[in-house]
Amino acid sequence: MKLKNFQDLVETRFTKKEIAEIERQAELEAKAIRSLQKSVSVAVSDYMVKNKIGFNEMTKRLNSNPAQLIKIKRGTANLTLASVAHIAALLGQEPSLIFKKK
């Protein structure tokens, strides 16, 4: 059997119900990532304003590079837990992760 595309392969391996569940889980994961990114972005931006810290100084304090700080401020950075902990420590804050049932 020759398949035309990836979607054909998926549909031969999974039921419609399984595909729907995979898509639901993927959307929840994406939503969680966007929420975490936004929280870090807001915290960094607020810290910079409150402490009158410029972009270059914040880059130094984060021991990062300008491109990464831009991503953090835009809420698009793909941060590790270690990175989040480093940022929180720099900001003098303790991050909290709350799981809510959907």
pLDDT at residue number 79: 94
Q: Does 3 have pLDDT greater than 80?
A: no
Q: How many CB atoms lie within 10 A of CB 77?
A: 21
Q: Does 102 have pLDDT greater than 70?
A: no
Residue 11 pLDDT grade (very low, low, confident, very high; cuts 50, 70, 90): confident
CA-to-CA distance for 37 and 24, rounded, in angstroms? 20
- Tokens in use for 33? 């990532």
**CA–CA–CA angle 19, 31, 66 (5° rounding):** 125
Residue 2 pLDDT grade (very low, low, confident, very high; cuts 50, 70, 90): low
pLDDT at residue number 1: 58
Does 38 fall in a domain? yes
Does 46 fall in a domain? yes
Does 79 fall in a domain? yes
Domain hosting residue 49, numbered range: 7-91
Average pLDDT of the residues in 46-58: 97
Does 73 fall in a domain? yes
Name the average pLDDT for the chain. 91
- Tokens in use for 35? 């929420």
- How many domains is the chain built from? 1
Decide: pTM greater than 0.85. Answer: no
Does 96 fall in a domain? no
> pLDDT for 58-84, tens place per residue?
999 999 999 999 999 999 999 999 999
Question: Helices 16-50 and 81-91 meet at what angle, rounded to 10?
Answer: 20
Does 99 fall in a domain? no
N-to-C CA span, the chain: 40
Does 72 fall in a domain? yes
Residue 63 region by backbone torsions, left for phi larger than 0, else alpha for psi between -120 and 50, else beta: left
- Residue closest to 72 by CA, chosen among 32, 30, 36: 36
CATH, residue 51: 1.10.260
Does 2 fall in a domain? no
